[in-house]
Amino acid sequence: MQLPTPEELKDKRTELGLTQNDLAKRAGVSQPLIARIESGDVDPRLSTLRKIISVFEDVEREDIHVVNIMHTNVISAAPEDHIDIAVQIMEKHNISQIPVLSNGVPVGSISEEMIVRSMADKKKAAVSHMLIRELMGDSFPTVSPNTDINMVSHMLERNPAVLVLEKGQVVGVVTKYDVLKLLSE
């Protein structure tokens, strides 16, 4: 691993639109220290360099909005569909849960886990003919397309997906996998 040069640090700071003062505040160091590091007058401690790089990474993530990573082809089921339809959809797309939408509006969610749990109490034929609305759980949380990816990341810690709404209608979905893919870019 090669450490960035003073010029590279300055270039990165300006590329991200940060002033020396902004960077200093966010990194918890003084502005004169940032100026001295960028001019090559002082070699920063590794811990200081880590703070600066961490700020750069945070600022880069702030520029990512849900609209940049969401899937617009939202795979879903309707509350009036039978459970076997939800199972077929999940098998076809190799997913374990789907939102339940009524005229483009989220009303719940259905997952393999919910279906399997219900099968413990009922016969297979009875479960497959149940309506999704009889078994569905809460809807996935919703955000607007311009929501920052950091907020969505926190929501995904407790939910398998986040729906993206515009004018009350679902226009996209973001999953944990979508956020993980950002690491490889």
pLDDT in tens, 146-173: 998 888 999 999 999 999 999 999 999 9
Rounded to the nearest 10°, the torsion over CA 68, 69, 72, 74 is -150
Domains of the chain, earliest start first = 6-62 (1.10.260.40), 66-184 (3.10.580.10)
pTM of this prediction? Answer: 0.66
At 109-141, the pLDDT tens digits run: 999 999 998 888 777 768 888 999 999 999 999
- Percentage of residues of the chain with pLDDT beyond 90: 72
Output the six-digit token pair for 95.
């997913």
CA distance 134 to 118: 11
**Average of pLDDT values for 95-107?**
95
